[in-house]
Each structure stands twice: as C-alpha cells, then as structure tokens.
C-alpha cells in the first residue's frame, strides 16, 4: 500500500465517525495528489482525479478494510481516487471546489458511463459513500463535471450529447444499482455486502431501506478467505445494521 493510500485509510475512521480529523494539515497531503500522473483518466486529460499510486506502481494489490481487492490496475486507481475523495468529503471539505470537482470526476467514471454499470461492483459500492456524504444529494443543482478532456469524447463510453447531471440524478442512479445488486449476490460479485450496507445507512431513502432489509436477512458470501481484521470490520458494520433494524421496528411499533 502506498503512503498516500495508507494515510487515506488511517484518516477515514475519524472522518467517517466524527466528520473531522485530528490533524487537518494531513489533508493537504491528499489534496496535493490531485491531477498528478497515475490518477485515473490522467492520460486522457482528466486533471480532477487523485493519484493514490504512481504510474509505475501496481494499483491492483491493496486490500480494502472489508477484505476486497481491485480487479485490476485501472480499477485500483479508480478506487484510490474514490477513497481519497471519500476521506476529504468525510472530513468536511465538501466546500472545497477541488473536492467538488473530484466528486464530479468520480461520478463521470462510475454513474455517468454509457451502457449501465460498467465500473466494477467494488467501485460502485465504494462510490455510494460520496453520495451519502454529499450535503446536496437531494438537490437539482448540476454537479461540476468537466467534460472537456479527451477521455470523455469516446462516444461508446459516454453520451457526448448529454452532459448535465444533478446531485439528485446521481443519487437516483446509485439507488437503482443498490436495488439491482441487493436482489442477487452475483450482481455484486467479489464485494462484501457490508461494503454496500454502511453508506446505505446514511441515505434516508425508501429504496435504501428496502435494500437494507434484504441485506439484514442475507448471508455475506463475498471474499470468504478474508482475514480476521476484515471480518472484524464486517462485524462492526453488521452491528450498525442490527441497530438500524431495531430502530425501525421500534418506530413502527410507536406508529
């Protein structure tokens, strides 16, 4: 794991649980990787993604806290960008234009690709956090996506005649995938259901709640050989889901 990715993973629990980090200056290290060689889409002119890896490094070898691995180098670079963007959003930098544009670039490469769900299930599941942490996720405000790079002129991957997406549009597309993926584990192959569950707990949507109810009754079949640390992380999320289900039942009983 690179130093940048290790820092990202170290900062994330604080950002996730407290909405801040003990050392805000450490966030500058992450911001400094924006638009650097090795970032996803850099060779196609994309300058709003974060480089968690140098071009010479293999981005497919790291393991997420829940035990999953990227499917290949390109997937690993996209995941690195998503993880850095997630940490910065979680730490309160949603007001930073650089982070807003990084979020837009993340959406361009996940939810805005032509032909449906072409990004890996792991990338899609991870990007749910960006939506969960977005204060404007229910807004019709356009997302700042820079469509000018050469990368996005490939009409087979992107609709070059449709470039306007709101925060609400992305949220709806993501929830469509959540419902789709929750029906059959094969639709999120190689991804622990707990990776999907945790951001869903923050989305406050009937479709999210429906998917959570399904996951609460399901068994996690992904990455059975994950280590003890990953199993502990999944157990932490399982506890959150259990608490959420109990709250929902108590609310229904009061009503």
Q: Say how many C-beta atoms besides its own lie within 10 A of residue 47's C-beta.
A: 15
Asked whether residue 240 is assigned to any structural domain, the reply reads: no
Total length of the chain: 255
Asked whether residue 83 is assigned to any structural domain, the reply reads: yes
DSSP state of 124: H
Asked whether residue 194 is assigned to any structural domain, the reply reads: no
Asked whether residue 68 is assigned to any structural domain, the reply reads: yes
One digit per residue, pLDDT tens: the chain, 255 residues?
789 999 999 999 999 999 999 999 999 999 999 999 999 999 999 999 999 999 999 999 999 999 999 999 999 999 999 999 999 999 999 999 999 999 999 999 999 999 878 999 999 999 999 999 999 999 999 999 999 999 999 999 999 999 999 999 999 999 999 999 998 888 998 899 999 999 999 998 999 999 999 999 888 876 566 789 999 999 999 999 999 988 888 887 887
Q: Say how many C-beta atoms besides its own lie within 10 A of residue 116's C-beta.
A: 10
The pLDDT score that the predictor gives to residue 222 is 63
DSSP state of 137: T
CA distances from 82 to 19, 61, 104 (A): 17, 16, 11
Asked whether residue 69 is assigned to any structural domain, the reply reads: yes
Residue from 128, 33, 32, 13 nearest 77 by CA = 33
Asked whether residue 19 is assigned to any structural domain, the reply reads: yes
b/e per residue 20-38 (b: at least 16 CB within 10 A): ebeeeeebeebeebbbbeb
Three-class DSSP category at 169: helix
The tally of domains found in the chain comes to 1
Asked whether residue 197 is assigned to any structural domain, the reply reads: no
Helix 193-200 to helix 228-254 angle (10° resolution) is 40
Q: What is the span of the domain harbouring residue 38?
A: 3-184
Q: What share of the chain is helix, strand, coil (3-state, %, to 5)?
A: 55, 0, 45
The pLDDT score that the predictor gives to residue 89 is 98
Asked whether residue 13 is assigned to any structural domain, the reply reads: yes
The pLDDT score that the predictor gives to residue 223 is 58
pTM score of the predicted model: 0.96
Contact assessment for residue 137 and residue 165, using Cβ atoms and an 8 Å cutoff: no
């Amino acid at each position: 794991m690179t130093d940048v990715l290790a820092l990202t993973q170290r900062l994330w629990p604080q950002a996730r649980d407290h909405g801040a980090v003990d050392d805000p200056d450490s966030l500058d290290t992450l911001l400094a990787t924006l638009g650097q060689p090795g970032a996803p889409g850099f060779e196609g002119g994309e300058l709003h993604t974060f480089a968690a890896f140098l071009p010479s490094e293999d981005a497919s070898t790291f393991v997420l806290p829940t035990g999953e691995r990227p499917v290949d180098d390109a997937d690993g670079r996209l995941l690195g960008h998503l993880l850095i963007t997630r940490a910065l959003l979680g730490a309160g930098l949603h007001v930073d234009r650089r982070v807003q544009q990084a979020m837009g670039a993340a959406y361009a490469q996940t939810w805005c690709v032509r032909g449906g769900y072409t990004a890996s299930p792991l990338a899609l599941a991870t990007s749910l956090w960006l939506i969960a942490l977005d204060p404007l996720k229910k807004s019709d405000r356009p997302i700042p996506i820079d469509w000018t790079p050469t990368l996005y002129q490939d009409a087979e991957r992107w609709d070059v005649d449709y470039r306007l997406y709101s925060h609400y549009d992305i949220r709806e597309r993501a929830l469509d995938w959540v419902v789709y993926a929750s029906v059959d584990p094969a639709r999120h192959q190689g991804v622990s259901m707990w990776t999907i569950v945790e951001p869903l707990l923050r989305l406050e949507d009937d479709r999210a709640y429906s998917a959570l109810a399904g996951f609460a009754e399901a068994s996690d079949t992904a990455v059975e050989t994950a280590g003890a640390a990953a199993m502990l992380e999944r157990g932490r999320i399982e506890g959150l889901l259990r608490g959420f289900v109990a709250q929902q039942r108590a609310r229904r009983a009061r009503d």
